[in-house]
Amino acid sequence: MSGTPVFFMSFFFPLVLFLIVAAVFLFAIVRAIAGAIGSRNASRMSADETRMLQDLAASLEKMEKRIENLETIVIDRARKSEFEKL
């Protein structure tokens, strides 16, 4: 039973840190898009800015998949450790 808190803590804090970084990254994207839409020069957005926003969106999708994979790993390991206790 004493191994469970260490196991939980060893995956919980990195996961929380990763989620915080993802949230900051998402906030930056949303703010950039909102600023582009809200400004009068939104229709004059350069090709570089458009490409940069598309790259950010693609990176965010990859990060979302990584988070889902990490959540799956943590849940599976927690279930396995609970099953082994029985």
Tens digits of residue pLDDT in 9-27: 677 777 788 888 888 888 8
Measured CA to CA, the distance from residue 35 to residue 23 in angstroms comes to: 18
Is residue 49 scored above 60 in pLDDT?
yes
Question: Which residue intervals of 1-86 are DSSP H helices?
Answer: 3-38, 47-85
Count of structural domains, the chain: 1
Give residue-wise pLDDT tens across range 39-48: 655 566 678 8
- For residue 76, give its domain range: 3-85
Residue with structure tokens 């809200």?
38
